[in-house]
Structure 1
């Protein structure tokens, strides 16, 4: 299992843990995903896709906030992953984050999971 952490210039704003679990790339953002921090998630998503890993699992259990820029990063990754035969799976969204997806209708285009157990193939 390969693991890396990506930190924002502002400690506490956003951290992204990345690891490979079986055939999935697991990304765990912690903190706030907004126009200031979106690149910290975009970079590892793009890196996984560029390396041919098209099944992306984003553990949202520690994601406290997501604005439209963060949503667009995830939508862009979904489009790339699906074009390559994969997909983006979102896990354990907190109510404030889930609300953004529900209001915009984005919850209908992602595969949503309540837990990592259901998101990661066994």
Structure 2
């Protein structure tokens, strides 16, 4: 699934299997919150029961409070569904946002998708 194909400043997501990886390309901000929310909802509903859902942020360099709220809501939804939402390759800006908002302890952060927990 590709969202926003050909539009480089919109977040795009690509879905992989085993583990379930959602790749975000572009900004996670007010302008793209609905798109991000929809992609996360799809990932959480399609992921096998009890599996980890990894949000690969390698190609996303900006997240505002709206994007963070979408991720926080997805984290809670993942918990309710029996999944664990992990963030892979967060940018320096994303790490700082998590720290400034006190959200840093709420997510498992991975250096890359390849470093996922087994």
Please, what TM-score do these two structures have when normalized by structure 2?
Answer: 0.86
Given the superposition, is the C-alpha separation of residues 50 and 65 from structure 1 closer, same or farther in structure 2, using an over 3 Å criterion?
same
Superposed CA RMSD in Å reads 1.9
Pairing 1:55–2:52 present? yes
Q: 5+ unaligned residues in a row in structure 1: which ranges?
A: none
For 1:117 and 1:90, the matched residues in 2 are separated by 12
For 1:12 and 1:120, the matched residues in 2 are separated by 31
Partner residue in 1 for 2:64: 67
Aligned residue pairs, count:
116
TM-fit CA distance, 1:120: 6.2
CA deviation digits over 1:53-101, x for unaligned, max 9? 4521111111111001000110011001111221110011111121111
Q: Secondary structure at the match of 2:30?
A: coil
Moved over 4 A (4+): none
Please, what TM-score do these two structures have when normalized by structure 1?
Answer: 0.84
Partner residue in 1 for 2:16: 20
Pairing 1:99–2:96 present? yes
